[in-house]
């Protein structure tokens, strides 16, 4: 099987690398990363990749040097990422973080590859376009988000029309019990520590604000086609149940597992088979208890904003994601507070409501990228007023 990994040096990328390293039937086509050249070069040598790409032009020389004598091709920059996605592969992992992951995944579908989609931003910003592109090229998208992989697995052999509701779980993050006043003072270090999952910095902070779950609500709608009112979020601090699917006969099928993304990645890698995976097995007696609570929309407005976006449709997902990315940048840079992120996203969407392009149906990648840029500019301007 020919495999490429986009975002190979990240948290999902390293877990993918771990699984690929255990197989002897893999031919690695392309691996891409950012500034962590040492890891990218190590992975490329270890998997005998054809091509290694850094997203940044100024890292080209370093990567070239690190791979000299290996016979591995080296490239840099955004266009090189696209060219890498156009190289024929059977299975492509999309694990770049942010809207930057959209274009490479889109190109991978055009050459008919199975797209293992960790980059949820692709579905949030351009869901209908991505699903259409997959259908057009007879390519498959397999979800690599723990909740969506869980729903996908619970749906095996079932009629979509028999589904009444879908429940995705959220750990609640490090600020689950915090008051509104406390949330306003939350620091970057506090937001960057997740109680149950080890992930990249950006998704970890998004988990603390529930923006990650907001993206996942939209992701669920776009991938499976359920109505927004069929999709629920429940806080489940142990992160053992990843999602549940409720059927019209009252049955509720839950997917349980240790919080280890190698399960969802491995499921997508082996699909439709189930192969042995190196993940911890649950000892239910040791877990002792699983608990649940309703999310608090007052303290965590992200879920409400996601529902507004699902009603607006069109390009509002692209605007939502882009303004969320700017809000996150501003929080990481120390310019705005933790609770200001949701305020900034809401003000950006409200401002863009006067732009008819916000709700126009998505036609092409270009219109998505245009709205992404407009939202970034708008959010940056509003952030300056807030700071
Ligand atoms: P990460 O920050 O650990 O890694 C991101 C990867 O993308 C790195 O290889 C980095 O070099 C690369 N990258 C960053 N910015 C880039 C850019 N502008 N252009 C090209 N490459 C760039 O992120 P992660 O936690 O592995 O998450 C990756 C994606 O998977 C995200 O969309 C995230 O929401 C999703 N996801 C992650 C997890 C998890 O457990 N980490 C779970 C579910 C979904
Ligand atoms: Mg998830």
The band of 125, judged by pLDDT with boundaries at 50, 70 and 90, is very high
Task: Report the alpha-carbon distance of residue 19 to residue 22 in Å, rounded.
Answer: 5
Q: Ligand 1, residue 12: give the atom nearest the CA.
A: 26
Q: Which residue has the tokens 């040097």?
A: 65
Task: Report the alpha-carbon distance of residue 208 to residue 205 in Å, rounded.
Answer: 5
Domains of the chain: 2-143 (3.40.50.720), 148-258+282-287 (no CATH), 313-386 (1.10.1740.10)
Query: Are the beta carbons of 73 and 53 closer than 8 angstroms?
Result: no
Segment 94-116 shows an average pLDDT of: 98
Pocket test residue of 60, 118, 145 for ligand 1, highest count of atoms within 8 A of CB: 118
Residue 387 pLDDT more than 90?
no
Task: Quote the ligand 2 centre to 317 CA distance (angstroms).
Answer: 17
What digits encode the pLDDT tens for the residues 330-384?
Answer: 999 999 999 999 999 999 999 999 999 999 999 999 999 999 999 999 999 999 9
What digits encode the pLDDT tens for the residues 301-336?
Answer: 999 999 999 999 999 999 999 999 999 999 999 999
What digits encode the pLDDT tens for the residues 138-192?
Answer: 999 999 999 999 999 999 999 999 999 999 999 999 999 999 999 999 999 999 9
Expressed in angstroms, the distance from the first to the final Cα of the chain is 50
What digits encode the pLDDT tens for the residues 21-61?
Answer: 999 999 999 999 999 999 999 999 999 999 999 999 999 99
Query: Are the beta carbons of 93 and 31 closer than 8 angstroms?
Result: no
Q: Ligand 1, residue 55: give the atom nearest the CA.
A: 20
Ligand of minimum distance to the alpha carbon of 242: 2
Pocket test residue of 44, 82, 199 for ligand 1, highest count of atoms within 8 A of CB: 199
Q: Ligand 1, residue 32: give the atom nearest the CA.
A: 9
Q: Ligand 1, residue 261: give the atom nearest the CA.
A: 40
Residue 236 has which token pair? 């489940």
- Secondary structure class of 139 (helix, strand, coil): coil
Ligand of minimum distance to the alpha carbon of 169: 2
- Determine if ligand 1 sits within 6 Å of the CB of residue 122: no
What digits encode the pLDDT tens for the residues 75-101?
Answer: 999 999 999 999 999 999 999 999 999
Pocket test residue of 203, 208, 220, 223 for ligand 1, highest count of atoms within 8 A of CB: 203
- Determine if ligand 1 sits within 6 Å of the CB of residue 13: yes
- Secondary structure class of 23 (helix, strand, coil): coil
What digits encode the pLDDT tens for the residues 255-306?
Answer: 999 999 999 999 999 999 999 999 999 999 999 899 999 999 999 999 999 9
Query: Are the beta carbons of 2 and 269 closer than 8 angstroms?
Result: no
The band of 103, judged by pLDDT with boundaries at 50, 70 and 90, is very high
Task: Quote the ligand 2 centre to 118 CA distance (angstroms).
Answer: 9
Q: Which residue has the least CA distance to atom 31 on ligand 1? A: 97
Segment 214-222 shows an average pLDDT of: 98
DSSP string, 220-286: HHHHH---GGGEEEEE-TT--EEEEEEETTS-EEEEE--S-THHHHHHHHHTTS------PPP-HHH
DSSP string, 102-134: HHHHHHHHHTT-EEEE--HHHHHHHHHHHHHHH
Give every CB contact of residue 337 below 8 A, 6+ residues apart in sequence.
184, 185, 186, 331
Percentage of the chain modeled with pLDDT above 70:
100
Residue set of the binding site for 1-deoxy-D-xylulose 5-phosphate: 120, 146-147, 171, 194, 207, 212-213, 216
Q: Output the average pLDDT for the chain.
A: 97
Angle ∠(336,338,339) on CA atoms, nearest 5: 100
- Determine if ligand 1 sits within 6 Å of the CB of residue 199: yes
Task: Report the alpha-carbon distance of residue 32 to residue 84 in Å, rounded.
Answer: 8
Q: Ligand 1, residue 118: give the atom nearest the CA.
A: 30
Complex ipTM value = 0.99
Q: Which residue has the least CA distance to atom 25 on ligand 1? A: 200
Kindly report the backbone phi and psi dihedral angles of residue 245, in degrees, each rounded to the nearest multiple of 5, phi listed first.
-120, 125
């Amino acid at each position: 099987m020919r495999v490429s990994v986009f975002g190979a040096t990240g948290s999902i990328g390293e877990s993918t690398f771990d699984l690929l390293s255990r197989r002897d039937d893999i031919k690695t086509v392309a691996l891409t990363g950012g500034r962590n050249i040492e890891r990218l070069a190590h992975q490329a040598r270890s998997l005998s990749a054809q091509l290694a790409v850094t997203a940044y032009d100024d890292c080209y020389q370093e990567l070239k040097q690190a791979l000299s004598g290996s016979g591995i091709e080296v490239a840099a920059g955004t266009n090189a990422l696209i060219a890498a996605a156009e190289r024929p592969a059977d299975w492509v992992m999309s694990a770049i973080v942010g809207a930057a992951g959209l274009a490479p995944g889109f190109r991978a579908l055009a050459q008919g590859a199975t797209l293992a989609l960790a980059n949820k931003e692709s579905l949030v910003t351009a869901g209908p376009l991505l699903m259409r592109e997959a259908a057009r090229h007879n390519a498959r998208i397999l979800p690599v988000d723990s909740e969506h992989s869980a729903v996908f697995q619970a749906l095996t052999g079932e009629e979509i029309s028999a589904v009444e509701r879908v429940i995705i779980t959220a750990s609640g993050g490090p600020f689950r019990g915090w008051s509104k006043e406390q949330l306003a003072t939350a620091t970057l270090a506090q937001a960057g520590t997740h109680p149950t999952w080890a992930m990249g910095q950006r998704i970890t902070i998004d988990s603390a604000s529930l923006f990650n779950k907001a993206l996942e609500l939209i992701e669920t709608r776009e991938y499976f086609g359920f109505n927004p009112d069929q999709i629920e979020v429940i806080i489940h601090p142990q992160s053992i149940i990843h999602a549940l699917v409720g059927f019209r006969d009252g049955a509720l099928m839950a997917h349980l597992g240790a919080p280890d993304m190698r399960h969802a990645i491995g499921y997508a890698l082996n699909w439709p088979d189930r192969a042995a995976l190196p993940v911890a097995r649950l000892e239910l007696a040791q877990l002792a208890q699983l608990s649940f609570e309703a999310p608090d929309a007052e303290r965590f407005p992200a879920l409400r904003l996601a529902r507004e976006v699902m009603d607006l449709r069109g390009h509002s997902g692209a605007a939502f994601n882009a303004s969320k990315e700017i809000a996150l940048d501003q929080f990481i840079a120390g310019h705005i507070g933790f609770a200001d992120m949701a305020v900034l996203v809401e003000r950006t969407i409200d401002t863009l409501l006067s732009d008819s392009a916000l709700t126009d149906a998505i036609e092409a990648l270009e219109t998505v990228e245009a709205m992404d840029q407009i939202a970034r500019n708008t959010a940056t301007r509003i952030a300056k007023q807030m700071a």
